[in-house]
């Protein structure tokens, strides 16, 4: 649903860009940006209808994400995720929703004897192309869950 919302945002912003409506007043998808978007009008009825459809699609996607997140809030304090959410939420950069996501994707943390084995599970280890005495490391392997990897990277950014 988050990916769908992102696609709807991109579709709307690219539509505005194609018609010379460029947001230059700070970060996008803030309250100020939303007010600017709502103020946009098109003289051509077809463009106005398309803009309205894109706005309605985005609002539907945002409502869906908010509804799912509201449903998940109850699981912050319920077993089997309660302990893991509390522990993970203590780390800087990990929200309760992020902690719930990590806990639900990993399930049993004890199955990883080392940090390296956990990182291999997430796909955040470098690939290796070695032959004989030559060792070449490449990009991360991207193995495992893209959702888990994304959550870890975004938490690190924070």
Mean pLDDT (the chain, rounded): 94
How many structural domains comprise the chain? Answer: 2
Q: Are residues 53 and 92 in the same domain?
A: no
Res 40: pLDDT: 97
What mean pLDDT is predicted for residues 57-81? Answer: 96
3-state helix, strand, coil in the chain (%, to 5): 65, 10, 30
Helices (H) and strands (E) in the chain, counts: 7, 2
Shared-domain flag, residues 86 and 147: yes
Full residue range of the structural domain in which residue 52 is found: 2-74
- The per-residue pLDDT for 158 is 86
Whole-angstrom Cα distance, residue 70 to residue 115?
A: 32
Same domain? 95 vs 128: yes
- My answer on whether 69 and 103 are in the same domain is no
> Which of 48, 74, 100 delimits the end of a domain?
74
108 in the same domain as 69: no
Please tell me whether residues 115 and 131 are part of one structural domain. Answer: yes
Q: What is the pLDDT of residues 109-154, one digit of tens each?
A: 999 999 999 999 999 999 988 888 888 889 998 888 898 999 999 9
Predicted pLDDT at 28: 96
Same domain (yes/no): 67, 103: no
Give the percent of the chain with pLDDT over 70. 100
Do residue 105 and residue 86 come from a single domain? Answer: yes
Same domain, 83 and 127: yes
Domain boundary among 53, 74, 95: 74
Same domain, 116 and 102: yes
Do 14 and 70 fall into the same domain?
Answer: yes
Q: Indicate whether 53 and 68 sit together in one domain.
A: yes
Task: Answer yes or no: is pLDDT of 68 > 90.
Answer: yes
Last residue of a domain, one of 74, 105, 127: 74
**Per-residue confidence at 75, pLDDT binned at 50, 70, 90?**
very high
Report the chain's C-alpha Rg in angstroms. Answer: 21
Distance of alpha carbon 145 from alpha carbon 102, whole angstroms: 11
pLDDT digits (tens, 9 = 90+) for 77-115: 999 999 999 999 999 999 999 999 999 999 999 999 999
Q: Residue 53: how many CA atoms within 13 Å on its side-chain side?
A: 8
């Amino acid at each position: 649903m988050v990916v769908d919302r992102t696609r709807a945002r991109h579709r709307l912003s690219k539509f505005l860009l194609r018609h010379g409506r460029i947001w230059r007043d700070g970060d996008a998808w803030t309250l100020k940006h939303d007010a600017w978007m709502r103020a946009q009008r098109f003289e051509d009825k077809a463009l106005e209808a398309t803009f309205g459809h894109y706005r309605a699609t985005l609002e539907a996607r945002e409502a869906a994400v908010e509804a799912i997140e509201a449903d998940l809030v109850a699981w912050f304090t319920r077993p089997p995720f309660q302990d893991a959410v509390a522990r993970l939420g203590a780390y800087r950069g990990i929200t309760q929703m992020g902690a719930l996501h990590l806990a639900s994707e990993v399930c049993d943390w004890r199955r990883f004897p080392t940090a390296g084995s956990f990182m291999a599970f997430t796909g955040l280890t470098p690939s290796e192309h070695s032959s004989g005495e030559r060792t070449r490391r490449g990009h991360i392997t991207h193995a495992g869950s893209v959702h888990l990897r994304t959550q870890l990277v975004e938490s690190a950014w924070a």
